[in-house]
Amino acid sequence: MKPPLSSATMPGAQPQARTSTYVSRGLRILAAVIFLAAGAAKLAGVPAMVQPFDQLGLGQWFRIVTGIVEVIGGIAVLVPAAAFLGGLLLSATMVGALLAHSFVIEGSPVPALILLLITAAIAWLHRPGRWAASTGPSPVMPPA
């Protein structure tokens, strides 16, 4: 009787898993740097961050909340066990930014769209159950 195929015995499985790990790590580091910097700028009250929130009309409290969300999300995507939730949080934030830049705030929505794609990819790569079919320990979720 043949042993069942696993990621260790399937041809081509290891390089694909390794590539996925590198892509995930690269996207998470890129997103963390961008969102930690943007969140810190919002919290510091940099004029370039204050002005769009004035145009939005929700008040500066919303800039502070957005900055806090971006810092929390930037930290979360660096932690593999929290990367899914961090990716979702930042994706939702970027949907709001995309809508704001498309309909209310002057400026291009393209940066928000690119960041939405990056954060959605992080959430997708770290979605719960992604590694359930593998026979080894999960590189994303800690053992129960």
Kindly report the pTM of this predicted structure.
0.77
Q: Considering Cα of 22, then 25, then 27, then 33, what sign does the dihedral take?
A: negative
Q: What parts of the chain have a pLDDT lower than 50?
A: 2-10
Cβ 76 vs Cβ 86: under 8 Å = yes
Confidence at residue 26, expressed as pLDDT on a 0 to 100 scale: 94
Q: Is 18 helix (H, G, I), strand (E, B) or coil?
A: helix
